[in-house]
Structure 1
Amino acid sequence: MLDVRELTTLTDYFVICEGASERQINAINDGILEDMKEKHNIQ
């Protein structure tokens, strides 16, 4: 995760990751969204 708050107003963070299959990519996505909802009160 890259903190880009000082570089752009478009976003605060940029996440770079990879998965070997669609199932892995979906699991990564779900994990990130769940974490963001819990830690940052994002709906």
Structure 2
Amino acid sequence: MSVNDFQLLINCLFLLFRFRESGIHIYLFKTKNFKLKES
């Protein structure tokens, strides 16, 4: 495994983590808005 492959793996994991984190934020934001509209 070369350094380049390792760098690529780190980038992929970082992107996945960022995507998951933002996905959770969007989900929470949407459910919060939905609850506000309901009341």
Give the TM-score normalised by the residue count of structure 1.
0.48
2:3 aligns with one of 22, 29, 41? 22
Greater helix percent: which structure? Answer: 2
Q: How many residues align?
A: 22
* Ranges in structure 2 where 5+ consecutive residues have no aligned partner: 23-39
Give 1 or 2: higher strand fraction. 1
List gaps (5 residues or longer) in structure 1: 1-19
How far does residue 40 in structure 1 lie from its aligned partner after superposition? 1.4
Q: Which has the higher contact order (CA 8 A, sep 6+)?
A: 1
TM-score by length of structure 2 reads 0.52
Specify the structure having the higher radius of gyration (Cα).
2
